[in-house]
Chains A and B, each alone.
Chain A
């Protein structure tokens, strides 16, 4: 079992106030400012729950795919994964789009596509977010 922790503070109202992601268990990040305007796209340079979900999913997916490829005898040299999370205020998170580009010696497009699909179905973050209406995958070799 593995526990992961994060702490956030907020002062004032939703629209006029603001907050900070103070710290996380590993200590590798903290002091990240957050505001509602940043979340809805009217203010740049601050992170949002949806951006953190995108980072979590891209990270989890990359680990799952590298594991699957290595199990098949073809560890990747390099994987570049991007996750795009779509959020509609009042509705929720409507879509996550994953794109991955792999440099994997000894693997053809079909084998890579199968491993990429298997990873999207089996990574723990995909399973945790299975209630998202649409999760798409675009996988290709470099």
Chain B
């Protein structure tokens, strides 16, 4: 497969504490979002943050991996819902670190049982490029449950 390149850019005005930025999807123009340091700490600020963008990246990466694994097992999904929570914490002597990414998936896939889904979720985590990267520095957990008439 060819190498695929994706770009994003941000313009930041002023200091971290009092300034703010606008982050854009440069490759596709898919989004343009405001961000501030206050938003990074307090979700009610109504602006995005690096960690929220990572949560969106991990959920998006995992959902495609899980779909592939279910299809490979002969039980292609009809619908999947994946939720990701990224946790950043202050670690003594190391400053702020992303310490955990928790994936929770709800799946409608005719013909698959709990064991089959658990295997697909485990394989998806192993195969998702984002899981592979972040596992080197943070704890990745995956929880998958079946939903609907299987």
- Using CB atoms and an 8 Å cutoff, list the residues of chain B in contact with chain A: 1-17, 19, 21, 23-31, 33-35, 37, 39-41, 43, 45-61, 63-64, 67-68, 71, 76-90, 95-98, 129-130, 132-138
Contacts and interface: CB of A to CB of B under 8 A. Distances in A.
Question: Dominant SS at the A interface?
Answer: mixed
A100 B16 CA distance: 15
Interface in A1-43: 1-14, 17, 19, 21-22, 24-29, 32, 34, 36, 38-41
Contacts of B35: 59
Contact of A25 (B9, B43, B82): B43
A128 B49 contact: no
B81 A8 contact: yes
A84 B150 CA distance: 42
Contacts of B64: 10, 14, 19, 34, 36, 39, 49
B6 A2 contact: no
Nearest to A58: B10
A53 B86 CA distance: 13
B80 A10 contact: yes
Nearest to A69: B15
Interface string A30-69: 0010101011110011111111111111111011101101
A87 B64 CA distance: 15
Contact of A4 (B19, B30, B33, B51): B51
A39 B4 contact: yes
A6 B29 contact: no
B16 A56 contact: no
